[in-house]
């Protein structure tokens, strides 16, 4: 696959060089040090952190995958993570970067990077769980090779919408349509997690291409993260309240701007390869309610 962007799209992306939520209204709550803000949850021998704590690698081999999780839980805000994916053959591997409440009726916001055979592009899958219900996958091809350099993958979340961004380009929006009976993550705090694991039963061509262990170990690098979010203190009203410190609740952040809508339309027109809302067969002809409601 050739990675390219038309001139118009390049111009639009350059216009969006500042995140939609960077208005100087709150301090970044993260230290930028993985050793301070996160703890390793799976296979410490497969997790390596730089001396300054600013970058961390996750490794997958035949012995084990690896993962880490934030020490705090969050309810609304923005999280940015710079990621460089596995170079070369990565079929069957899955790097997940996500927020999750870890409860039976869990809320979850997922980035999942699905590896591929050498020469074929990564697939970015996103998914939203709300009140324990998922099955909201979308998949895109990225407009660049994510294994060559770091790119920023962001989750913005407030009471009105969830926006998933790549280099601050919106690639997925999930609106709060709770008044229409659609579940939306709005009460449960979530932990930030990242994991690298073997998903070759489904991740690449529906499980046709397996992990080739002879090409391992497989390593992904994460770093230069920013967490500007409401730290859970036990009361959701604290994070939902309207105040200058709760910048994510500002009226201008209740929907996408005109430029962001144009960028989202560009992503969906040129890079979308699967949308659950375009798969009536999967839902026996009855698409989920949100599929007929406005995205922004």
Q: How far apart are the first and last CA of the chain?
A: 31
Please report, for the domain that includes residue 73, its CATH number: 2.60.120.200
Residue numbers of the domain that contains 60: 34-288
User: What positions carry a catalytic annotation?
Assistant: 108, 112
Residue 19 lies in a domain: no
Does the pLDDT at position 257 exceed 90? Answer: yes
Residue 258 lies in a domain: yes
Residue 14 lies in a domain: no
- Report the number of distinct structural domains present in the chain: 1
Residues forming a β-bridge with 151: 83
Question: Could you give phi then psi for residue 292, rounded to 5 degrees?
Answer: -100, 5
- Gap between the Cα atoms of 216 and 7, Å rounded: 38
Tokens of 2: 């050739």
Residue 47 lies in a domain: yes
Does the pLDDT at position 153 exceed 80? Answer: yes
Q: What DSSP letter does each residue of 106-122 carry, written as one string?
A: --EEEEEEE--STTS--
Does the pLDDT at position 23 exceed 80? Answer: no
Residue 59 lies in a domain: yes
Does the pLDDT at position 266 exceed 90? Answer: yes
When computed from its CA atoms, the radius of gyration of the chain, rounded to whole angstroms, is 19
Residue 2 lies in a domain: no
Residue 98 lies in a domain: yes
Is the Cβ–Cβ distance between 273 and 151 less than 8 Å?
no
Q: What is the pLDDT of residues 192-249, one digit of tens each?
A: 999 999 999 999 999 999 999 999 999 999 999 999 999 999 999 999 988 888 999 9
* DSSP-based three-state secondary structure for 263: helix
Residue 27 lies in a domain: no
CA-to-CA separations, 161 to 11, 164, 214, 218, in angstroms, rounded = 26, 10, 43, 34
């Amino acid at each position: 696959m050739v990675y390219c962007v038309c001139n118009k799209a390049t111009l639009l992306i350059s216009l969006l060089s500042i995140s939609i939520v960077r208005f100087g209204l709150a301090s970044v709550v993260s230290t930028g040090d993985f050793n301070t803000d996160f703890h390793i949850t799976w296979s410490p021998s497969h997790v390596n952190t730089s001396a300054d704590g600013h970058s961390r690698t996750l490794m997958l081999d035949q012995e084990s995958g690896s993962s880490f999780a934030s020490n705090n839980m969050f309810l609304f805000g923005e999280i940015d993570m710079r990621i460089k994916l596995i170079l070369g053959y990565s079929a069957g591997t899955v790097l997940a970067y996500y927020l999750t409440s870890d409860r039976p009726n869990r809320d979850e916001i997922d980035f999942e990077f699905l590896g591929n055979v050498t020469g074929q592009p990564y697939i970015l899958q996103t998914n939203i769980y709300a009140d324990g219900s998922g099955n909201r996958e979308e998949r895109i091809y990225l407009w660049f090779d994510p294994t060559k350099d770091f790119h920023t993958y962001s989750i913005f979340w407030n009471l009105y919408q969830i926006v998933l961004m790549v280099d601050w380009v919106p690639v997925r929006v999930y609106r709060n349509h709770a008044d229409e009976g659609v579940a939306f993550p709005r009460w449960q705090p979530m932990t930030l997690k990242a994991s690298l694991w073997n998903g070759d039963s489904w991740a690449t061509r529906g499980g046709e291409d397996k992990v080739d262990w002879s090409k391992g170990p497989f390593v992904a690098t994460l770093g230069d993260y920013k967490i500007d979010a409401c730290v859970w203190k036990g009361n959701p009203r604290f994070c939902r309240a309207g105040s200058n410190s709760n910048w994510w609740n500002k009226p201008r952040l209740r929907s996408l701007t005109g430029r962001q809508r144009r960028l989202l339309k560009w992503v969906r027109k040129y890079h979308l390869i699967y949308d659950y809302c375009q798969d009536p067969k999967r839902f026996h002809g009855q698409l989920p309610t949100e599929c007929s409601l406005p995205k922004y």
